[in-house]
Amino acid sequence: MSTLQLAIATDFAGEFSRIEKINDILYKISQAGFTHIHWCFEWDGDYIYSSYEMEQIKEWLDQYGMKAKALHASKGSKRNVNLIDGHYRKDYTSDVEYNRKAGVELIKNRVDLAACMGAEEIVLHLYVPHFTIQEKPEAEEHFYQQVFRSFDELQPYCTHKGVRICIENLFDMPERYELDQLDRLFARYPSQFMGFCLDTGHANMVWGRKMTDIIHRYKDHLYAIHIHDNSGSADFHQVPGDGNINWQEVMTAVATTTYELPLVLELMCYDENMEGFLKKAYEAGDKLTGMYWKAKGNRNTGI
């Protein structure tokens, strides 16, 4: 019997509101050999999970003998993330207090779900409105003032629940804004509360082979990971090996960080044969995990 621990994001085949379909997806994931899931349904938008739904999800995981490695939280209401063009119902970066607090409440909802499932981290997007900042440089500090207010409020809640927030690297903004946001957050908050989620596909689009430099830069903050491949030009979420990422280099770098297995595959299924796709994904994850352990062993033995 395999001892491999491996996770996959639940939305690889899309979003579903019919519970029979969600249940079937979890069943297929378990049958493919995955031991963990990364709950990715409703990763964007205003959806609030009921406490009853949380119990239902936990029962499904128990039924199929799986655990939750993490979940993907929502930034809030869908909007143009590159600029400030009004105010939205749930937005933890908003300068309208009601809606900022509503965004905080939405994140707390995902923290509750993570705690119910036994996950220790949530992944969150932080979009810097760089178009607005380029036109009005003074807007940048006000933006971060609101962001810090929200995270200051979330910190004791997350600490009490035992759930860390991990900020994901994105491709929707110039590099300087990406690095600046991470540097600001890690300078302000302890790693027990705030961490980094490495998204390999996004990193490939922004940094290419320099991705390993970013991994080393934030190696003491890396607590979540999204593994997927692409050619560097579009966010295809392909199975590792189908794009141009040098996985040996990436896994060797990841092995030097604080990250703890299992790896998390965040993929999109382009195959009508879902079982075949999951088999291919599992085999790719197995290979990457082997690279990780080999690099870890070489590092520990001084090779």
Residue 50: CATH number of its domain: 3.20.20.150
Q: Is residue 272 part of a domain?
A: yes
pLDDT given for residue 3 in this prediction: 87
Residue 1 lies in a domain: no
pLDDT for the residue numbered 301: 46
Sheet holding 194-199, edge to edge: 222-226, 194-199, 164-168, 121-124, 67-72, 36-39, 6-9, 263-265
Q: Which domain holds residue 182?
A: 6-301
Q: How many domains does the chain have?
A: 1
Region label for 262, one of left (φ > 0), alpha (ψ between -120 and 50) or beta (otherwise): beta
On whether the CB atoms of residues 13 and 22 are closer than 8 A, the answer is no
What b/e sequence results for 266-303 when a residue is b if at least 16 CB atoms lie within 10 Å of its CB, and e otherwise?
Answer: bbbbeeeebeebbebbbebbeebbebbeebbeeeeeee
10-residue averages of pLDDT along the chain (303 residues): 90 95 98 99 97 98 98 95 92 98 99 99 97 95 98 99 98 94 98 99 97 98 99 96 98 98 97 95 98 83 44
CA distances (Å), origin 150, targets 92, 94, 141, 187:
6, 9, 14, 16
pLDDT for the residue 271: 87
Q: Is position 17 within any domain? A: yes
∠ CA 293-288-303 to the nearest 5 degrees?
A: 35
Residue-wise pLDDT for 95-151, tens only, equals 999 999 999 999 999 999 999 999 999 999 999 999 999 999 999 999 999 999 999
**Distance (Å) of CA 67 to CA 2, 35, 64, 98:** 16, 6, 9, 35
